[in-house]
Amino acid sequence: MIELVVILITIFLFGVVFFVALNYKRKNNNNNNNNNNNNNNNNNNNNNNNNNNNNNNNNNNNNNNNNNNNNNNKLDNRLIILEDNHHFYVDIGDNCLLLVSISDKTFEENMSRIDDIKNIVRQLIISLTRRLDIETKNYIVGNKVNYSNQRGDYSLDIYNCDPLMREKKDWGDSNYEYVSDINGWEQLENILTEDGRNYASGTYGLGGTLYVPRTSICIDDIICNGEQRSYLDESILTHEFSHTILELGIREAHPDWYEEFGRITDMYNDIANNKSNGYCPSRYSCDRRELFALASQAWFKLIVRTDINNYITTPEDMRDFSRGTLSLYSFMVRVYGEPSDLCYILPNECKSKCKNR
């Protein structure tokens, strides 16, 4: 009887040892797989960096920093930033968070309205990005990179521009700032836009590009608070953020769509010239980037201008630009879903920007 008990206990102990050993082996295999994945990722990063030798030193430095980062670090950074009320995240779904940074001067000037400001920005960004696919979303927030950019948070920077867009010397003692006064945008000081404006003083915001993967926007576009101000007839945030969607999101996530939009622009130029001789390329809307931005503003009914965009002032207008398999209207539906009116998000002071007031 005792012998039987000893045998049973021995069998039980063997079973336990076998089970523990099996699990240990499984765990090791998993770790190895993870390590292999990490190595592959690192190799990819290295390849990307090698391809990127032509870029400037800033980009190289950023990429080097980036090799040391991993998702855990990113999460940690986010938790730290969330403690700071100059920064917040907009959750655009599919595990994509867009970082928004409010400049110190903007914060000081608008302390009492800061929650309003956050709400307006949050709602607008969520609505603009609602129907973007997961790939595009991942690229516009910086979760994924292909090519020259650092992985990490791609922010939307809100700054306190002069609503009259005067030069610094004419500001007196006001608390304004140029976009080039914001951390990361310094290189724009003394640079001119294609149409001859000074980037630093003469813009209300800038869209993200592969080289500066961030959007900037003047606070006045969000609250329309100044006594005299520019751009009361269009949402510049919608314009600039749609540049980011095309140049960072679609270009990276769907290069074939980006190329298709180039052909749509050529078709648009051709048809617009037929409607009015010599219309393109002299108009703003005849450039690929601007066509998409102006079409995006019209898609969400947040532009009343008709001077720079007179063939695409409503989504319905866009149906005229179709040839063979190319269609401006269908392209916009593919990116954004059906057109919608986002006027309800804007505060009363900004309703002059709405197509349907």
- The contact mask relative to Zn ion for 229-268 (x = CB under 5 A, - = no) is ----------------------------------------
Tell me the pairing of strands 205-206 and 215-218: antiparallel
State yes or no: residue 222 binds Zn ion (CB under 5 A).
no
- Residues that bind Zn ion (rule: CB under 5 A) add up to a total of 1
**What are the phi and psi torsion angles at 87 (to 5°)?**
-130, 140
**Chain residue whose CB lies nearest Zn ion:** 293
Burial of 330 (0-12, 13-18, 19+ CB in 10 A): middle
- Max Cα distance, the chain (Å): 107
CA dihedral 136, 140, 144, 149 (to 10 degrees): 130
Instruction: Name the segment binding Zn ion (CB under 5 A); options: 8-16, 131-139, 244-252, 290-298.
Output: 290-298
Minimum CB separation of residue 287 from Zn ion in Å reads 8
Instruction: Name the segment binding Zn ion (CB under 5 A); options: 115-123, 159-167, 291-299, 325-333.
Output: 291-299
- The contact mask relative to Zn ion for 130-169 (x = CB under 5 A, - = no) is ----------------------------------------
Assign 3-class secondary structure to 43-97.
HHHHHHHHHHHHCCHHHHHHHHHHHHCCHHHHHHHHHHHCCCCCEEEEECCCCCE
Q: Which two tokens stand for residue 274?
A: 């037929």
**Pairwise CA distance, residues 350 & 34, whole Å:** 51
State yes or no: residue 293 binds Zn ion (CB under 5 A).
yes
Minimum CB separation of residue 222 from Zn ion in Å reads 17
Contact predicate 244/224, CB 8 Å: no
Instruction: Name the segment binding Zn ion (CB under 5 A); options: 126-134, 227-235, 252-260, 289-297.
Output: 289-297
> Which one, 121 or 293, has the nearer CB to Zn ion?
293
Instruction: Name the segment binding Zn ion (CB under 5 A); options: 33-41, 179-187, 292-300, 340-348.
Output: 292-300
Minimum CB separation of residue 296 from Zn ion in Å reads 10
Contact predicate 146/252, CB 8 Å: yes
> Which one, 293 or 335, has the nearer CB to Zn ion?
293
Q: Which residues of the shown chain bind Zn ion in the complex (CB under 5 A)?
A: 293
